[in-house]
Each structure stands twice: as C-alpha cells, then as structure tokens.
Amino acid sequence: ETGVTQTPRHLVMGMTNKKSLKCEQHLGHNAMYWYKQSAKKPLELMFVYSLEERVENNSVPSRFSPECPNSSHLFLHLHTLQPEDSALYLCASSQEASPRGYTFGSGTRLTVV
C-alpha cells in the first residue's frame, strides 16, 4: 500500500449504469487529484481538489462528477459513460509545498460495455 487506497480495483459497467470510484489517503495531504490513463496516451489530469475545494476541472465531460467530502476522501461518480471512457483511473495526493511530491494509488481499471 502506498498510503493512497483506491476501490474498486476493477469495474465493468454498462453505458446506462451509475457507479462511483473511491479514493482514500492516509498521508495527511491537503490536495487530491483524479487522472485518466488511456492506452498510448500520457496521463491526463481530470480534477484537482485543494483543501476540499475544486480548483481545477480540465474540460472533463459532465458524465464524470467528482466529490471531495473531506481532505482524506475523493470520489468520482460515473453515469452514462461511453466505451471510450474505458481506462485506468488513478487517484493521487500531495501536500502543498512539500518536497515529497505526489503519491498515487493503484488505480481502478474501468471497462464500459
């Protein structure tokens, strides 16, 4: 475990389903992120939360809805996804002005059928 825990590890969902990805960090960090990793593309930043406020939304479609109820938990709510949304979704956390950088979770492998 890296200190950032993501569940579930794998998820298969239909295009009409609603599901949520969960991320929890045990590091006392004050910023959390969602990244998307598709085949043959660099990791793409989706959302940034700093001190529980969303500070970045990188033009992500509204079918992805983040939620950060406190500094330790981050959710990504999914609804009416498309097959091209199939990817590895990675959560990360960091501490402002820390030299230690980011810590990533193990990711959720999402398949949309």
Partner 1 sequence: KQEVTQIPAALSVPEGENLVLNCSFTDSAIYNLQWFRQDPGKGLTSLLLIQSSQREQTSGRLNASLDKSSGRSTLYIAASQPGDSATYLCAVSLGAYSGAGSYQLTFGKGTKLSVIP
For residue 20, the cross-strand partners are 77
Residues that bind partner 1 (CB under 8 A): 2, 6, 31, 33, 40-43, 45, 48, 50, 55-56, 88, 90, 92, 94, 96-97, 99-107, 109
DSSP secondary structure code for residue 59 in this structure? S
CB 44 to partner 1: min, Å: 8
Name which of 18 and 98 has its Cβ closer to partner 1: 98
User: Rounded CA gap, 29 and 23, in Å?
Assistant: 13
- Please choose, from the candidates 73, 75, 74, 84, the residue with its C-alpha nearest in 3D space to the C-alpha of residue 110: 84
CB 16 to partner 1: min, Å: 26
CB 80 to partner 1: min, Å: 26
Name which of 18 and 51 has its Cβ closer to partner 1: 51
* Cα distances (angstroms) measured from residue 95 to each of 17, 21, 32: 34, 22, 9
